[in-house]
Amino acid sequence: MSTLYVAQQGCYVKLQQEQLLIKHNDAICQRVQLPLVDQILVFGHCQLTTQALRACLQRQVSVLYLSRMGQCYGRLLPMIQGYRQLARYQQDLSEVQRLRVAKILVKAKLWNSRVLLQRQGRTRPTPGIAQAVGQLAILIRQVNEARDNAALMGIEGAGAAAYFTALGDCFVQPGFTFTERNRRPPRDPVNAMLSFGYQVLWNHLYSLIEAQNLDPYEACLHQGSRKHAALVSDLLEPFRAPLVDSLVLYLVNRKVMDPEADFEPQKGGCYLNDSGRRKYLQAFVVRMETEITSSSTLPRPRWDLLMAQVQEYKRFVYEPQTLFKPYLIR
Amino acid sequence: MLLYIVAYDIPSNRRRKKISDLLEGYGRRVQYSVFELMLSPAKYAELRRRLRRYVQMEEDSVRFYPVSKHTLDQVEIWGGVPLTQPPGSIIV
């Protein structure tokens, strides 16, 4: 998936035939070939002309408007994408079928979190990591016994608590201490990166779900509110640790991020600033475009993992009596 | 994804402008009337469909040469811009 991120504040995007010109202070800073772009993420204060927006709509390029922190205000979609072909099948899923998928997703999330900790523990073992790895194994077994979504959410919460406590042991650079996961607002640099990372990945996943004509509001695990695109949150769960948490670990432990220069305090919290956001997005894009090989398939970029998961869900919706196969790291 | 070389010879200024604008959206100009494009099959079909509207077969000539994976390794470039790479995401 080819994405244009417009993250520099004060940019101005206009159309010139088949290209987008991105200007900053009247100087052209980038030319982008519109036919080769799948979606555009606009962060904060950047302007797109109506001509540019219309050209995007004509080419089925969706445009997302996000805050500088990565929270999505809204999406501009071509008319044709409003039709959700599979919504009827999704609504027909029974409670039993939904709970079964919800269990599979929670299990996959716990499994992937545990693998990440195990890998970290191999280079830098601590008692905290060993304890959390053991605890996660117990919780994975308990998932099968959950009677309903509430019980399942309880197990998921316990897993997250154990996992994030141990994750703190994995950050080794001064200035990046991580004691607990907090959000709205995130209170330290690591939490700021995690929040931004989940938001950005969430929005990408939303686009993929919509592109497959699934209804993002019909979910299995997160069923609380009809106003929340819960299917996106459902399918995101297995990817949090391998795609976001591990990237944040890399950015901190390899000293890509500077605890002073890349963050700013705002509204009682701690957020990425312009340079921090660009660093994160650059590393994120490199990671997502890197080709990986698993035993059964040809090398493919990590984007395909997300795509494959959405397609797997689509397949499941057509044949709900079959098993949904989640993304698991080996 | 394959590399395509597209070369054209078009006498009409108007049509040449239209066609080169379109090609600039899909690839890169490497000589005055030669483009390199790294495209998926779907994008290649889309480009050909859109180009077809402008090309007049009696007067113009547009040529498309796909470069196979095998011969891509043997491409030599003397001067000018480096070989076109597959498109990726862009951060501004």
The average pLDDT across B4-23 equals 95
Element at A65 (helix H, strand E): strand A62-66
On whether residue A329 sits in a domain, the answer given is no
**pLDDT above 70 as % of chain A:** 95
**pLDDT above 70 as % of chain B:** 100
Three-class DSSP category at B8: strand
Provide the pairing of β-strand A263-266 with A269-272.
antiparallel
Q: Confidence band (pLDDT; 50, 70, 90) for B37?
A: very high
How big is the A-B interface in CB pairs under 8 Å?
Answer: 60
Last residue in a domain, options A50, A80, A110: A80
Contact between chains at A2 and B21 (C-beta distance less than 8 A)? no
Alpha helices (H) in B4-91, listed in sequence order: 13-26, 41-52, 69-72
Contact between chains at A11 and B88 (C-beta distance less than 8 A)? no
Full-prediction pTM beyond 0.80?
A: no
- Average pLDDT taken over every residue of chain A: 84
B7 pLDDT above the threshold of 70: yes
Q: Confidence band (pLDDT; 50, 70, 90) for A295?
A: low
The average pLDDT across B17-37 equals 95
Q: Which residues of A touch B87 (CB under 8 A)?
A: 2, 33, 36
User: Which has more confidence, B53 or A147?
Assistant: B53
Q: Confidence band (pLDDT; 50, 70, 90) for A269?
A: confident
Q: Confidence band (pLDDT; 50, 70, 90) for B10?
A: very high
Contact between chains at A2 and B92 (C-beta distance less than 8 A)? no
Per the structure block, which two tokens stand in for A36?
Answer: 């080769």
Residue A132 Cα, gap to closest chain B Cα (Å)? 37
ipTM of this complex prediction, to 2 decimal places = 0.85
Give the CA diameter of chain B.
Answer: 44
A188 pLDDT above the threshold of 80: yes
Which of A69-73, A121-125, A150-154, B53-57 is most confident?
A: B53-57
Minimum CA–CA partner of B92 in chain A: A6
Please give the tally of structural domains in chain B: 1
Optimal mutation site among A2, A3, A31, A33, interface B, most CBs of chain B within 10 A:
A33
On whether residue B48 sits in a domain, the answer given is yes
Instruction: Count Cα neighbours of A275 within 13 Å in the Cβ-side half-sphere.
Output: 9
Interface of B with A in 15-44 (CB under 8 A): 21-22, 24-27, 43
Q: Confidence band (pLDDT; 50, 70, 90) for A208?
A: confident
A206 pLDDT above the threshold of 80: yes
What amino acid is encoded at A257 in this protein?
A: M
**CB neighbour list of residue A290: distance below 8 Å, 6 or more residues apart:** A301, A302
Q: CB of B82 within 8 Å of any CB in chain A?
A: no
* Whether residue A259 sits in one domain with residue A111: yes
Last residue in a domain, options A23, A49, A80: A80
* Whether residue A245 sits in one domain with residue A295: yes
Angle, alpha carbons A229-A231-A234 (nearest 5°): 120
Task: For residue A18, give the nearest of B24, B87, B92 by CB distance.
Answer: B24
A300 pLDDT above the threshold of 60: yes
Q: What backbone phi and psi angles, to 5 degrees, belong to A33? A: -85, 105
On whether residue B11 sits in a domain, the answer given is yes
Total Cβ atoms within 10 A of residue A2: 18
Which DSSP state fits B84? P
State how far the Cα of B25 lies from the Cα of B74, in Å rounded to an integer: 26
Angle, alpha carbons A79-A80-A81 (nearest 5°): 95
For residue A81, the model assigns a pLDDT of: 63
A82 pLDDT above the threshold of 70: no
* Whether residue A146 sits in one domain with residue A251: yes
Which of A75, A33, A30, A25 minimizes the C-alpha distance to A55?
A: A33
- Are A106 and A155 in contact by the 8 Å Cβ rule? The answer is yes
* Whether residue A121 sits in one domain with residue A199: yes
| CATH number of the domain bearing residue B16 | 3.30.70.240
- Average pLDDT taken over every residue of chain B: 92
Q: Which residues of A touch B89 (CB under 8 A)?
A: 1-5, 285, 288-289
Residue A11 Cα, gap to closest chain B Cα (Å)? 9
Residue pointed to by tokens 């498309």: B64
Last residue in a domain, options A56, A80, A104: A80
What amino acid is encoded at A171 in this protein?
A: F
Q: Which residues of A touch B91 (CB under 8 A)?
A: 5, 7, 278, 281-282, 285
Range of A133's domain?
A: 86-318
On whether residue A330 sits in a domain, the answer given is no
Which of B57, B75, B60 minimizes the C-alpha distance to B7?
A: B60
Q: How far is CA B72 from CA B4, B5, B40, B64, B83, in A?
A: 10, 11, 16, 15, 10
User: Which has more confidence, A109 or A274?
Assistant: A109
Q: Confidence band (pLDDT; 50, 70, 90) for B65?
A: very high
Q: Confidence band (pLDDT; 50, 70, 90) for B91?
A: confident
| CATH number of the domain bearing residue A40 | 3.100.10.20
Contact between chains at B43 and A35 (C-beta distance less than 8 A)? yes
